[in-house]
A and B are shown apart, each in its own frame.
Chain A
Amino acid sequence: MIRIDNVSMRFDDILALDHVSAQMQTGSIFGLVGTNGAGKSTLLRVVSGVLKPQEGSVTVDDKPVWENPAAKERVCFIPDTAWFYPNATPLGMMEYYRLLYPRFDAKRYQEMLVKFDLDPKRKLSTFSKGMKKQVSVLLGVCANTEYLLCDETFDGLDPVMRQAVKSLFASEILNRDFTPVIASHSLREIEDICDHVGLLHKGGILFAKDLDEMKLRIHKVQCVIPDPALEKELHGELEILQYDKRGSLLTLIARGTRDQVLRKVQEKQPLFCEILPLTLEEIFISETEVAGYDIKNLVF
Chain B
Amino acid sequence: MTSKISFFKLARDEWKKLTWVTALFGIIFGLLLPFRVLIVMAGESRYLDSIHGANLARLSTYYWEQLGFGHWEVSIFVIAAGAFCALCAFGYLHSPVKLDFYHSLPIKRQTLFAAKLVGSAFTFIAPYVICQVLVLLVGVVYKVTWAAGTAEVIASTGFGILQFLTSYAGTLLAVMLTGKMLTTVLAVGVLGCYIPMWWLLSAILKEMFLPAWAGSAYSDWGAVLRFSSPWAFALMRDLNCRKSLVNGSWQITWPKAAAVLQLILLIGALLAVSLLLYQKRKTERAGCAIAFSWMEGLIKIALVIPTSLFAGLVACEIFEDSMIWAVVFILLFGLLGGMIMEFIYRWDIRQVFANKAQLVFALAVSCVILVAFRYDISGYNTWIPGKEEVAAMAISSRYGSFGDYRVWVPKDQESHEREIDYLETENIDPIYRAAQAGVEYFSGKDLNREQLEEKGISFTRAEIKYRLKNGKEVYREYTVPLELVTESISELLEDPGYRERFYPIMRCDTDQIDYANIYLDDEMKKELAQAGLQAENGESEEESRSEENLETSEKPEEEYSEAKYAADIELPPPSDVETAEEDDTVSQWYGDSIMIDGKEDLRQLAEAYRKDLLLASYKDVMRFSGQEGSLDFWVKDQKGKANYIADYGSYGLTADFAETMKFLKDWIARETARISNSDG
Tell me the A residues contacting B by CB distance below 8 Å: 11-12, 45, 48-52, 67, 69-70, 72-73, 75-77, 79, 81, 83, 85-86, 95-96, 99-103
A79 & B10 in contact (Cβ 8 Å cutoff): no
Q: Supply 9 further A-B pairs (C-beta < 8 A) apart from A52-B283, A67-B279, A69-B107.
A: A45-B104, A50-B99, A72-B106, A72-B107, A73-B2, A79-B100, A83-B97, A99-B6, A99-B13
What's the least CB distance linking B19 to chain A, in Å? Answer: 9
**Known contacts A67-B108, A73-B106, A85-B17: A99-B100 contact under CB 8 Å:** no
Measured CB to CB, the nearest residue on chain A to B1 is A73
B293 on the A face (CB < 8 A): yes
B106 & A100 in contact (Cβ 8 Å cutoff): yes
Measured CB to CB, the nearest residue on chain B to A52 is B282
Indicate which residue in B4, B284, B293 contacts A102 across the interface (CB closer than 8 Å). B4
B9 on the A face (CB < 8 A): yes
In the complex, chain B residues whose CB is within 8 Å of the CB of A100: 5, 10, 105-107
CA–CA, A77 to B100, complex, Å? 8
What's the least CB distance linking B551 to chain A, in Å? Answer: 96
Among the interface residues B101, B108, B282, B283, which one has the most CB atoms of the partner chain A within 10 A?
B101
Measured CB to CB, the nearest residue on chain A to B92 is A83
A50 & B283 in contact (Cβ 8 Å cutoff): yes
What's the least CB distance linking A163 to chain B, in Å? Answer: 26
B46 on the A face (CB < 8 A): no
CA–CA, A77 to B17, complex, Å? 22
Measured CB to CB, the nearest residue on chain B to A74 is B106
What's the least CB distance linking A212 to chain B, in Å? Answer: 31
Measured CB to CB, the nearest residue on chain B to A95 is B13
**Known contacts A12-B293, A70-B1, A85-B17: A48-B98 contact under CB 8 Å:** no
Indicate which residue in A51, A85, A86 contacts B283 across the interface (CB closer than 8 Å). A51
Interface 1/0s, chain B 250-283, versus A by CB < 8 A?
Answer: 0000000000000000000000000000010011
In the complex, chain A residues whose CB is within 8 Å of the CB of B279: 67
**Known contacts A67-B108, A85-B17: A99-B9 contact under CB 8 Å:** yes
What's the least CB distance linking A81 to chain B, in Å? Answer: 5
In the complex, chain A residues whose CB is within 8 Å of the CB of B283: 45, 50-52
B106 & A69 in contact (Cβ 8 Å cutoff): yes
A81 & B97 in contact (Cβ 8 Å cutoff): yes
In the complex, chain A residues whose CB is within 8 Å of the CB of B293: 12
In the complex, chain B residues whose CB is within 8 Å of the CB of A99: 5-6, 9-10, 13
B109 on the A face (CB < 8 A): yes
In the complex, chain A residues whose CB is within 8 Å of the CB of B105: 72, 100
CA–CA, A11 to B4, complex, Å? 35
Measured CB to CB, the nearest residue on chain B to A81 is B97
Number of interface residues of B (CB under 8 A): 27
In the complex, chain A residues whose CB is within 8 Å of the CB of B108: 67, 69
B13 & A49 in contact (Cβ 8 Å cutoff): no
Interface 1/0s, chain B 1-22, versus A by CB < 8 A?
Answer: 1101110011001000100000
B71 on the A face (CB < 8 A): no
A102 & B97 in contact (Cβ 8 Å cutoff): no
Indicate which residue in B17, B106, B282 contacts A101 across the interface (CB closer than 8 Å). B106
Measured CB to CB, the nearest residue on chain A to B103 is A50
Interface 1/0s, chain B 370-403, versus A by CB < 8 A?
Answer: 0000000000000000000000000000000000
**Known contacts A79-B97, A99-B10: A49-B103 contact under CB 8 Å:** yes
Measured CB to CB, the nearest residue on chain A to B98 is A83
Indicate which residue in A72, A81, A95 contacts B104 across the interface (CB closer than 8 Å). A72
What's the least CB distance linking B284 to chain A, in Å? Answer: 6
Among the interface residues B95, B98, B105, B108, which one has the most CB atoms of the partner chain A within 10 A?
B105
Q: 9 tightest CB-CB pairs across the interface, nearest first? A: A73-B106, A69-B2, A77-B104, A72-B106, A102-B4, A79-B100, A48-B104, A50-B103, A69-B106
B1 & A51 in contact (Cβ 8 Å cutoff): no
7 contacts between A and B (CB under 8 A): A48-B104, A69-B108, A75-B104, A75-B106, A100-B107, A101-B106, A102-B4
In the complex, chain A residues whose CB is within 8 Å of the CB of B106: 69, 72-73, 75, 100-101
Interface 1/0s, chain B 346-361, versus A by CB < 8 A?
Answer: 0000000000000000
What's the least CB distance linking A108 to chain B, in Å? Answer: 19
CA–CA, A86 to B17, complex, Å? 8
Measured CB to CB, the nearest residue on chain B to A45 is B100
In the complex, chain B residues whose CB is within 8 Å of the CB of A69: 1-2, 5, 106-108
In the complex, chain B residues whose CB is within 8 Å of the CB of A76: 104
Measured CB to CB, the nearest residue on chain B to A97 is B105
In the complex, chain A residues whose CB is within 8 Å of the CB of B109: 67
In the complex, chain A residues whose CB is within 8 Å of the CB of B282: 51-52
B284 & A83 in contact (Cβ 8 Å cutoff): no
What's the least CB distance linking A264 to chain B, in Å? Answer: 50
CA–CA, A51 to B97, complex, Å? 13
B10 & A83 in contact (Cβ 8 Å cutoff): no
Measured CB to CB, the nearest residue on chain A to B95 is A83
Measured CB to CB, the nearest residue on chain B to A98 is B9
What's the least CB distance linking A90 to chain B, in Å? Answer: 16
A50 & B4 in contact (Cβ 8 Å cutoff): no
CA–CA, A52 to B4, complex, Å? 25
What's the least CB distance linking B106 to chain A, in Å? Answer: 4
A50 & B104 in contact (Cβ 8 Å cutoff): yes
In the complex, chain B residues whose CB is within 8 Å of the CB of A51: 282-284
In the complex, chain A residues whose CB is within 8 Å of the CB of B97: 79, 81, 83
**Known contacts A70-B2, A96-B13: A11-B104 contact under CB 8 Å:** no
CA–CA, A85 to B99, complex, Å? 12
CA–CA, A101 to B17, complex, Å? 18
Q: Which of B100-136 contact A (CB under 8 A)?
A: 100-101, 103-109
